[in-house]
Amino acid sequence: MSSALSDAIRGLAQDKGISEELIHRTIEEFLLAAYKKKFGTSDNAVVKFGDDEGEVTLFAQKRIVEDVYDPVTEIELEEALEYNDECEIGDELLIEINPQEFDRTAIQSAKQRAKQTLREIQKDTLYSEFKDKVGEMIIGYYQRERNGNIFVDLGKTEGILPKRYQSPREVYRPNDRIKALIYEVNKAPTGLQIVLSRTHTEFVRRVFELEVPEIYDKTVEVFKIVREPGYRTKIAVYSNREDVDPVGACVGMRGVRIQAIVRELEGEKIDILKFDTNVPEFIRNALSPAEVSQVVILDEAKKQALAIVPESQLSLAIGKQGLNVRLANRLADWNIDVKTEVQFAEMDVVAGSKRAVSQLFGDYDSEEDEITTVAELPDIPKHVAEALKDYGVELIEDLVALGEDGLRQIEALSNEDVELVQQIVADNIEIIEGEEDVEAEGEVKTETEPEEAPQPEEPAAKTASERARERIAAAEREAAQAGVQLDETQEVAESAEADEEQARTGEDEEHEITRIDELPNISNKIVAALEHHGVEQIVDLLNLNESELRRIAGLDENDVEQIREIIADSVEIIEQDEEDGEEVSS
């Protein structure tokens, strides 16, 4: 073969991105396949390349024998002497085979196998190249569109931008430049499949790294990004240097950097906020651009918080269809409820009224925590507790009964230890005297808990009207102590009579639910998809219309229809006269 072969090999290597060594192996397999098609076996076929890689030769290796039984692998001595006059019986001889002597069937078979081998090599090469680039940014050009999916020309291969990974704001035309994130790389029977995305949060992170050098060099780091593609993105950042403002670095001089990012996201709103380890402050920042007056932690274990905003900031804090507060929930990883200052004051009044009524009917649990052993006393030194234990004093009542003289008889205790024990006893132990004798009890009460007053016994012969008047008066006194004003005595009386009637009949109040996973007949698949979208409360689910439900990843038409049926059957929306709110009950 001529030197044109070497040029063809180099050109193929450059066009397909395949190494020359793999191309040589493909040519060898091509010739062996053609040889096997013609002679039935390729065990004795040998392929050799020239030094300049411009020539390739195919040989048949045959053994020299006297009588030939297999002409493919054997050759007679007389015929062998024509190729080499020094050969002898038993030697092996390489005889050159001219590929042009192969028939058309052998050539077609070898050609098909060579093409398949080249495709597999190219697929493996591209897979190895792009597999390491998952999560990185890539730039391509709009090639064609099919069923909403856009095929992007990436140079050596093409990628696919599925419809579900496209922002609702974006519209593309042929030959448009597309910047996207490499989300997945898969091997498919038709070739390599490279899945691109413009909706994932990592795409926003890569765009910020391109536009903000401080993020790229880790001077400013991104704590977390939450996003509703096409509508709003929230990003929390912090600085590793005190002299660098993380928010200002992202915004840039006169907003140049953030404007470039917004243009790349086709006008999507972006909230850049500072991450803070103080949870209330971080929640306050997460609800930006709304101004938050106060953040109250309701339950730290369940991560429930209440954000109090001025009346004028309520709609801004909640956002359109609850978008702003939903993103803030996901960003802070807390369940945030937003109330105005007036609503918060009304919540305090209602809570105080409930406490007063509960205390009136004995439902309020005013039991104080009690401790009985010396080791449980606050601020008691360990060596003092051990010394008392060795002396046989483990209970607080034994310690009180021992007295100062008894303490000084313990050799392991110094005068300072005795004085400290007496001070701890005086500060934390209440000695209760009985009617006949004085009894020392180790009851340790917290300073903030009110002392329970002894309740006088009620006369046995009281009418129902007298008992009702006493309950009303007691409710007013309890409400006054809690800072609650009961304007309507009749309301308290009616509430007391209703609770008393309920206690007699034993009927339970209607159970109220607030979370979507508590809805009857709702599947785990629907719950997981909604929670991944940031919808955990039933109120948030009611704020979503049907089109928004269909855009949630993981929900199909049957799931949306099932959600609508469950809401219609199990959720009741009650409009209140005084408050513009919703009460969901099951």
Name the class of domain 4-118.
alpha beta
Which range (195-209, 356-370, 383-397) has the least confidence? 356-370
Answer yes or no: is pLDDT of 236 > 90. Answer: yes
Name the class of domain 133-199.
mainly beta
Answer yes or no: is pLDDT of 299 > 60. Answer: yes
Task: For residues 159-180, give the mean pLDDT.
Answer: 90
Higher pLDDT pick, 262 / 476: 262
> For residues 133 and 127, what is the distance between their CA atoms, to the nearest angstrom?
10
- Confirm if 522 and 541 have CB atoms less than 8 A apart: no
What pLDDT is recorded for position 446?
A: 37
DSSP string over 88-110: -TT-EEEEEE-GGGS-HHHHHHH
> For residues 183 and 196, what is the distance between their CA atoms, to the nearest angstrom?
5
Higher pLDDT pick, 305 / 39: 305
What pLDDT is recorded for position 443?
A: 42
Q: Contacts by 157-160 with C-beta closer than 8 Å and gap 24+? A: 157/126, 157/130, 157/191, 157/192, 157/194, 158/194, 159/194, 159/195, 159/196, 160/193, 160/194, 160/195, 160/196
CA atoms within 13 A on the CB side of 363: 11
> For residues 372 and 370, what is the distance between their CA atoms, to the nearest angstrom?
7
The tokens for 254 are 């006169």
Answer yes or no: is pLDDT of 54 > 50. Answer: yes
Dihedral sign (CA 196, 197, 198, 204):
negative
What pLDDT is recorded for position 503?
A: 46
Task: For residues 442-451, give the mean pLDDT.
Answer: 40
Answer yes or no: is pLDDT of 206 > 90. Answer: yes
Which range (342-346, 469-473, 477-481) has the least confidence? 477-481
What pLDDT is recorded for position 349?
A: 53
Q: Which of 45-54, 281-290, 418-427, 471-480 holds the top average pLDDT?
A: 281-290
> For residues 568 and 570, what is the distance between their CA atoms, to the nearest angstrom?
6
* Sheet containing 294-299, strands listed edge to edge, beginning at the edge strand earlier in sequence: 294-299, 304-309, 335-340
> For residues 254 and 306, what is the distance between their CA atoms, to the nearest angstrom?
35
The percentage of the chain sitting over the pLDDT mark of 70, rounded to a whole number, equals 75
Answer yes or no: is pLDDT of 204 > 90. Answer: yes
Task: Provide the pLDDT confidence category of residue 358 given band limits of 50, 70 and 90.
Answer: low
- DSSP type of residue 69: S
R_g of the chain computed on alpha carbons: 42
What pLDDT is recorded for position 464?
A: 47
Answer yes or no: is pLDDT of 419 > 70. Answer: yes
Answer yes or no: is pLDDT of 384 > 70. Answer: yes
Task: Provide the pLDDT confidence category of residue 12 given band limits of 50, 70 and 90.
Answer: low
Task: For residues 191-217, give the mean pLDDT.
Answer: 92
The percentage of the chain sitting over the pLDDT mark of 90, rounded to a whole number, equals 27
Within 278-431, where are the H helices?
279-286, 314-318, 323-332, 341-360, 382-390, 396-408, 415-428
What pLDDT is recorded for position 438?
A: 38
Higher pLDDT pick, 129 / 440: 129
- Confirm if 109 and 37 have CB atoms less than 8 A apart: yes
Which range (105-119, 230-244, 546-560) has the least confidence? 105-119
Higher pLDDT pick, 55 / 344: 344
Answer yes or no: is pLDDT of 460 > 50. Answer: no
Answer yes or no: is pLDDT of 476 > 90. Answer: no
Task: Provide the pLDDT confidence category of residue 192 given band limits of 50, 70 and 90.
Answer: confident
Answer yes or no: is pLDDT of 311 > 50. Answer: yes
- Give the tens place of pLDDT for each residue, 435-444: 444 344 444 3
Answer yes or no: is pLDDT of 255 > 60. Answer: yes
What pLDDT is recorded for position 357?
A: 52
Task: Provide the pLDDT confidence category of residue 35 given band limits of 50, 70 and 90.
Answer: confident
What pLDDT is recorded for position 511?
A: 55
The tokens for 112 are 């098909």
What pLDDT is recorded for position 508?
A: 42
Task: For residues 16-37, give the mean pLDDT.
Answer: 73
Task: For residues 542-548, give the mean pLDDT.
Answer: 79
What pLDDT is recorded for position 492?
A: 45
Fold of 374-443: DNA polymerase; domain 1 (1.10.150)
- Confirm if 282 and 276 have CB atoms less than 8 A apart: yes
Q: Enumerate residues 6+ apart whose C-beta is below 8 A from 48.
A: 56, 57, 59
Which of these, 299, 302, 381, 305, lies nearest to 338 by C-alpha position? 305
Q: Do domains 4-118 and 374-443 have the same CATH topology?
A: no
Domain ranges of the chain: 4-118, 133-199, 374-443, 516-585
- Give the tens place of pLDDT for each residue, 492-538: 445 545 555 544 444 444 456 788 888 887 888 788 888 878 888 88
What pLDDT is recorded for position 351?
A: 58
> For residues 418 and 132, what is the distance between their CA atoms, to the nearest angstrom?
71
- Confirm if 219 and 241 have CB atoms less than 8 A apart: yes
Tokens 């290597």 -> residue:
13
> For residues 565 and 556, what is the distance between their CA atoms, to the nearest angstrom?
15
For the entire predicted model, the pTM comes to 0.49
Q: Enumerate residues 6+ apart whose C-beta is below 8 A from 10.
A: 20
How high does pLDDT run on average in the chain? 77
> For residues 394 and 402, what is the distance between their CA atoms, to the nearest angstrom?
11
What are the residues facing 585 on neighbouring strands?
Answer: 572
